[in-house]
Structure 1
Amino acid sequence: MPKFRYLAPFVAAAAMVPLVPAVAMADGPDWKPCASVAKDWDAADQRTECAMVPVPLDYADPGGRTIDIAVSRIRATGERTGAILFNPGGPGQSGMAMPRDIAGSKAAGLLVHHDLIGFDPRGVDYSASLPCPGNETQPDPSLSEKDQARFIAERDAKANARCIAQDPALVHSFTTPDVARDMDRIREALGEQKIGYYGISWGTALGAQYRTLFDGHVDKMLLDSVMPPDLDVTAMDDGQATAGENTFHEFSAWIARYDVVYHFGPDEATVAKALLDLRAELTTHPRTAADGSPINGDTVNAMYADPRRQWADLAAQLVTIRDGGTPAPPSSAAKTGGLGWDTTPTGFDHFQQTALLCNESPSPRDFDTVWQHRLDRMRRDPVAGGFGLYEQLCVGWPEPARPWQLGPGTSPLQLVGHTYEPVTPIGWAVAMQRRIGGTLMTIEDDVHGSLSSLPCADAAVTFFDTGRTTTQSCPGAPIPAPRT
């Protein structure tokens, strides 16, 4: 797990960044209906407005190059008391649709007294970004698993190098502190002395960073599905693997409770063994589905640690496979790119995610160490140990790490953790609370960032209206019943 650092080193580092005067916007942002300016925006949405906010590329060089940050807004429907800025996480995810999404959610009450503000972080969709397609060339299947993994890591490292060469200064600026500073420019452009913030997933780290840098400009802050207080993608993969392994055993126990339906066994241990035996059988004797896709050990292993809402469907598919049938193939969708308002939005930029994580994580850059970590993880967590997504991204990354330095503040802070979640395990929320303070609310589910979809979203509305935090425990959505 990540090591804990103290605030003092950050204070010294922060003092090295010059105070940057605000970019002049005499009349504030030039708001226009998003449907009239942003490519592929939903034409039926006539409520959301869009604008660009100019920010320095490099906050240490305030008089130098500027870039544009795309911002969206839905105005408060009642007596306005402020504005709330949103980020959905990633990193690399677009936040432009979040005002509309929140306005249509169980947290819609936030819109009564607050303007809802979304934005694309630098490097994402409509904001300043890079056209940076990846290389999908696949390794020779006759290679060993390790050599196939090495091929992919080296392939991606070369693609990353080509992307960096397009605009090294922009890629260098893909960091959480720079995105936080962009948020403060958005606040200034809106004419707000203080601004609310609602962040999910990596957006919680972004919020913690903003509060560390600009605590005096925070009205109220809510962080849902909380990241750890130190970014280390090795530790992230470790934590997610452990949580995923726990999910496998919880899934096995759930199947056991419905043995009359699934017939894998009457207790967790028997079911877990049956599922692992099925994986071993398909690894030794793989099959081919009607569409030509493989059904092998990896096929079923990928089903073993999925969210509770999928358990009924997954258990039915596992029965089908066990009994000699084939499951339905997954769907896929193509994505494209662009520049500025003419961008074809994808909602996610993989290269921005890679750049930000690798610019900030002190994880290994060499393939052999990353591969050994994967083997160690798989020994500890036989089901979920191979699911790691993040550590491999940084193989060959040329930038030295600039780790997070988060500290406490005094502005109102509500944290929201999810008891069974494998994406941002509940322990991360506890560790973040110990580092930066705040009050922790728990949701009894495994759904990433689910607060706005649940009846207890009224706690968020109350918090932003009154500043009152809560330690309540909230029920999540029920697990679907088994199919009979």
Structure 2
Amino acid sequence: MSRNRVASVLVATTMVALATPALASASPIWEPCKDVATGWEPTDDRRTECAMVTVPVDYARPDGRKIDIAVSRQKATGHARRRGVVLLNPGGPGQSGIHQPRWITDSEAAGIGADHDLIGFDPRGVGYSADVSCPSLPGDDAEPPVSLPDKEKARFVFERDAKMNQRCVAADPEFVRNLTTENVARDMDRIREALGESKIGFYGVSWGTALGAAYRSEFDSRVDRMLLDSVMSPTLDVGAMDDAMIAAGEVTVREFTGWITRYDAIYHFGDRQPAVLEALMKLRDELTEHPRTVNGETVDGETVKGYLAGPRRDWANAAKALAALRDGGVPTAKPTSERGRGFGWNAHPNGYNTFQQTAILCNASVGPRDFETIWQRRLDRIREYPAVASPGIWNGRCAGWPLPVQPWNFTKGTSPLQLVGHTYEPVTPIGWALAMRERIGGALLTVEDDHHGSLSSLPCVSKAVEFFSTGKTSDGSCPGAPIPPPSSR
């Protein structure tokens, strides 16, 4: 769920084309993706098939304006025991899903495709599915004057983003208003109809878990089996997202500094966790006050913060980098963190659309939108979580958003549901999975790692394969990948 601001998202050329797409037939016309989709990998020897499915922009006006949703398919490899289809979504929002069948086939989760057709799709407003954009103007990425106080710098950014959000919505208000998680779920049901299936399976990650919850809430009887990995909160508030993610990051900093104490002979920060944390906070503060340039690179307090709450798989690399900063050097590796023109198959998608993400989130977020409340929430967050000391990345996303809020309203169902949470993960904290289970039901499998959506890369994914084949759920736990020791980096 990252906050990448990509200037190339803001392109207006597709807006006119949205109004009059070519209508797709009721039954999809499947063709090899590499033959019809611009930019498709030409070596796709699995012959992934692609088709378009037509849906209404506004489901309250089903006979009104239409768009086409791009769908991909890999047929079940075990044809004799095929039992249905599984739709796939990798998260976002704003992320393409058209390549998901190939990625699942190349993962530890490939067994799902033995008895199911794997179905990918680009959600409305992304990639080949009516990629939504708006015109960029000078000043969209303007930075506040350095002479301003911190609060006025934040106000500058808030007002800049509010103007851009309002302009983006005004470019096509009907389409943007209908960029909702619920409408993407309704598009999924149109895909189900086009495939001729009475029920579908679904495997969603991150925001894809909210999408699955929305589909199951409205179409429970049409769900075969549903698995949701790295689960979102059942109530969307972009400010609360920041609160929970930064709280998880604060815990990670303390666990990381505890890990460093075990290797004091290597890193020399101290053999007690409080001393290590104090040393790193002192290093951060010193570089904040006195940034330095080494070998042409500037290092400052933000450089230190970039390493403090990283994933466990990078702890050895991060500790080495922090030791280099302490000793006056420059890290050899950077910290880890988690669009062309055209329309339909002629689009040149980059796999991600920041404005579609903004629309999906801001159309549903119930949090405050005024600057003063957001600023105070930022101050409270920095004070409450001093190690991470982050103002948050989502809280101001909906600045000036002019459309009414359409909150998520997920409900319980009876169809088979497997939730997957990750004990130490900061992107979708484990508490969200617990809250979602309380809201919609299902079993909760806990993975002992901090890697967002990692199930498909772990041996534990055998439980997911079994679930889709037999319907058996799990409330147990399974290990994640081990933390690499310093000697392995």
TM-score, scaled relative to structure 1: 0.92
**Counterpart secondary structure, 1:229:** coil
Query: Does residue 1:88 correspond to 2:87, yes or no?
Result: no
Shift of 1:354: 0.7
Aligned length: 459
2: CA distance between counterparts of 1:106 and 1:89?
18
Alignment of 1:440-455 (within 5 A): 440-455=444-459
Please show how residues 222-241 of structure 1 align to structure 2 within 5 Å: 222-241=227-246
Q: CA deviation at 1:97?
A: 1.0
Change (3 A) 1:387 1:201: farther
Distance 1:290 1:152, change over 3 A: farther
Distance 1:182 1:29 in 2: 14
Partner of 2:72: 72
CA distance in 1 between partners of 2:272 and 2:448 (Å): 23
Q: CA deviation at 1:166?
A: 1.5
Cα distance in 1 between the residues matched to 2:352 and 2:421? 24
Identity %: 59
**Would you say 1:150 and 2:149 are equivalent positions?**
no
Match in the other structure for 1:110: 112
2:27 matched to which residue of 1?
Answer: 28
Q: Secondary structure at the match of 2:85?
A: strand
Gap runs ≥5 in structure 2:
1-21
Instruction: State the partner residue of 1:164.
Output: 169
- Quote the offset at 1:385 in angstroms: 4.3
Q: Deviations over 1:278-323 (max 9, x none)?
A: 00110111112434x4311111112111111111111111011100
What is the one-letter code of the residue matched to 1:308? Answer: R
Query: Is residue 321–residue 333 contact of structure 2 (8 Å, CA) maintained in 1?
Result: no
Say what the alpha-carbon RMSD is for the aligned residues. Answer: 1.8
Listed one character per residue, the Cα deviations across residues 101-148 of structure 1 (whole Å, up to 9, x for unaligned) are 000000100111000001111111110122336532222233233222
TM-score by length of 2: 0.91
User: What's the offset of the Cα at 1:24?
Assistant: 9.5
Aligned equivalent of 1:13: none
Match of 1:251 among 256, 279, 294: 256
Match of 2:428 in 1: 424
Which residue identity lines up with residue 48 of structure 2 in the other structure? T
Aligned 8 A contact 2:318 2:335 in 1: no
Q: Using the alignment, how far apart are the partners of 1:249 and 1:337 within structure 2?
A: 46
Q: Distance in 2 between matches of 1:131 and 1:377?
A: 32
Contact 1:107 1:453 survives alignment (8 Å): yes
Measure the CA separation in 2 of the matches of 1:188 and 1:383.
51
Query: Distance in 1 between the 2:67 and 2:23 partners?
Result: 14
| Residues in 1 aligned to 2:425 and 2:278: alpha-carbon distance in whole angstroms | 23
Please state how far the C-alpha of 1:255 moved relative to its aligned partner.
Answer: 0.6
Paired position in structure 2 for 1:439: 443
Q: Deviations over 1:226-261 (max 9, x none)?
A: 011111112111111110100000110011111111
Q: Give the aligned partner of residue 40 of structure 1.
A: 39
- State the Cα deviation string for residues 354-388 of structure 1 (Å, max 9, x = none): 11111101112222211111110010001334152
Alignment-mate amino acid for residue 279 of structure 1: R
Q: CA deviation at 1:152?
A: 2.1
The 8 Å contact of residues 363 and 394 in structure 1, kept in 2 or not, is answered as no
Q: Determine helix, strand or coil for the equivalent of 1:225.
A: strand
Structure 1: runs of 5 or more not aligned? 1-22
* Structure-2 separation of matches of 1:90 and 1:71: 17
Q: Does 1:278 align with 2:283?
A: yes
Q: Which amino acid aligns with 2:132?
A: L
Is 1:129 the counterpart of 2:128? The answer is no
* Matching residue's letter, 2:272: D
Q: Extract structure 1 runs of 4+ deviating beyond 4 A.
A: 23-27, 328-332
Aligned AA (1:263) = H
Aligned AA (1:77): T
Q: Is the 8 A contact 1:377 1:385 kept in 2?
A: yes
- Equivalent AA in structure 1 for residue 308 of structure 2: Y
Question: Which of 288, 299, 302 in structure 1 is aligned with 2:303?
Answer: 299
Residue 349 (structure 1) shift: 0.7
Alpha-carbon distance in 2 for matches of 1:480, 1:420: 16
- Is the 1:364–1:395 contact (alpha carbons within 8 Å) kept by the matching residues of 2? no
